Structure 1
């Protein structure tokens, strides 16, 4: 039986009202989505994991159905938003799962708060500052966002998947991805941190790690597997950037194993 999903709200320490989706009960896993994406993109994980776990999917500021403030679209504030969410959820360790830009938001939280509340990290398909950097984003992307945002965002969303997706689903995701001001969305892709900041933030967390990537990040995954004290690394060869949708069954099974056997709940 599928656990009922509910939408809840909390207010950040700077007064912004953020929404999150929640289902299930027990130990907590918190999902943080990528650039401009809503928390509902983790629907396959909410449905599968809430049978055994309390699953939370955040709409970060300006995303999903959360409030769209004028500022706060930078890593320190976004990390604090995660910290505020954990304070709202209550005590005990959690597994933090970030995808794409959400990887950086989770690592920003870890840098400011340490790993005291972290039972484990799930980092999905973004650079963590290891080894050779991934190929740069096309140089005209920001210009295209300013000049023809709708078409650019729709192209970006379509390119996240390798498996066929319903047209209405893609349309909804693309519409939600344009809620924040365009300059705020560009600031999110321009975090003022060197690559080494993310690498050092990752290795300062001594809890278990699951790093799931597509082939472009294979080199970083190999480096993490060698350097991290408790790594679990997988490369999703045939998936797109939204690998947790393209290969939901495989990804969910891996997260189940991580939560059940590897996470440091005690």
Structure 2
């Protein structure tokens, strides 16, 4: 039997080893300056109808690498480093939803696209909802909310916060390392987890705590979701299933997808399914006109 070529062996090894490298080499590295003078980084890959990916708490844009690789063949895919995250400038201020939402609005204006599918994961859900609540949805073709509360139904327990923030103050590195490892249900490479942890620890301690302490009631997020009639895709784990049921029953244009066996970073654990859902949403449900 003929041996595989070196390039074929490399591809096979990559498939077996899973996610590597944070380079997002498929996209151009770019930046813009916000109205309050902070340089924010993003990668821009592919051509076609645009999709903007906003990561969660302290996470870098490159965590979306499987979405960039999988979707840039038919879409323009922008992966964003919010202020003080990833390759963006460490900001002395602005780690609250009003400013972070405005950053998203200013990035969309900078990109010059008439409309865009906005994808927020975890804290990025709240940043995206803040953007449309305070600045409108005129530039939004569709809204994808990934694995965070949207203020529907009974409030989830907040007990974790009373433990997590003190642990950040007293034992930051092991706390962040454990958080990063907990985001996945599928095995990830040690170097992949180490790079994510390193990037998360780049965010200043007080900024990371501010990001966990948004001064908004749950009702704000619910009203933001229901204030838009743009199509909504809510991709969640089972712990948010009740909120998904409420949203599906009360929002006229919401689609709910439960990832039964994925971790918090469900778009990494089940990248093929997530990418297919997102491509279908952008193609068939988003309002581009």
Match of 2:226 among 203, 226, 241: 203
Say whether the 8 Å CA contact 2:50–2:113 is kept in structure 1.
no
Say whether the 8 Å CA contact 2:151–2:219 is kept in structure 1.
yes
Distance apart, 1:140 and its partner CA: 1.7
Q: Which residue of 2 aligns with 1:172?
A: 195
What is the rounded CA distance, in whole Å, between the counterparts of 1:137 and 1:98 in structure 2? 24
Moved more, 187-196 or 224-233: 224-233
Match of 1:10 among 10, 32, 56: 32
Distance apart, 1:134 and its partner CA: 2.2
Q: Which residue of 1 aligns with 2:174?
A: 151
Q: Which residue of 2 aligns with 1:47?
A: 69
Moved more, 137-146 or 26-35: 137-146
Q: Which residue of 2 aligns with 1:216?
A: 239
CA RMSD of superposed structures (Å): 1.2
What is the rounded CA distance, in whole Å, between the counterparts of 1:94 and 1:233 in structure 2? 20
Q: Which residue of 2 aligns with 1:162?
A: 185
> Is residue 86 of structure 1 aligned with residue 108 of structure 2?
yes
Moved more, 138-147 or 42-51: 138-147
Normalized against structure 1, the TM-score is what?
A: 0.98
SS of aligned partner of 2:106: helix
Q: Which residue of 1 aligns with 2:262?
A: 239
Q: Which residue of 1 aligns with 2:90?
A: 68
1:69-98 CA distance string (max 9 Å, x none)? 111000000001001101110031101000
Gaps of 5+ in 1: none
Distance apart, 1:129 and its partner CA: 0.3
> Stretches of 4+ moved more than 3 A in 1?
none
Say whether the 8 Å CA contact 1:3–1:24 is kept in structure 2.
no
Q: Which residue of 2 aligns with 1:29?
A: 51
Larger radius of gyration: 2
What is the rounded CA distance, in whole Å, between the counterparts of 1:130 and 1:26 in structure 2? 34
What is the rounded CA distance, in whole Å, between the counterparts of 1:97 and 1:184 in structure 2? 23
Say whether the 8 Å CA contact 1:29–1:96 is kept in structure 2.
yes
Distance apart, 1:21 and its partner CA: 1.1
Say whether the 8 Å CA contact 1:45–1:248 is kept in structure 2.
yes
Distance apart, 1:3 and its partner CA: 9.0
SS of aligned partner of 1:155: helix
Distance apart, 1:137 and its partner CA: 4.4
1:39-84 CA distance string (max 9 Å, x none)? 1101111011101100001000000010001110000000010011
What is the rounded CA distance, in whole Å, between the counterparts of 1:161 and 1:123 in structure 2? 18
What is the rounded CA distance, in whole Å, between the counterparts of 1:29 and 1:135 in structure 2? 32
Say whether the 8 Å CA contact 1:3–1:51 is kept in structure 2.
no
SS of aligned partner of 2:202: coil
What is the rounded CA distance, in whole Å, between the counterparts of 1:133 and 1:20 in structure 2? 34
> Is residue 109 of structure 1 aligned with residue 131 of structure 2?
yes
Q: Which residue of 2 aligns with 1:77?
A: 99
Normalized against structure 2, the TM-score is what?
A: 0.90
Aligned residues: 265
Q: Which residue of 1 aligns with 2:210?
A: 187
Distance apart, 1:22 and its partner CA: 1.2
What is the rounded CA distance, in whole Å, between the counterparts of 1:175 and 1:12 in structure 2? 25
1:17-42 CA distance string (max 9 Å, x none)? 01001110111110100000001101
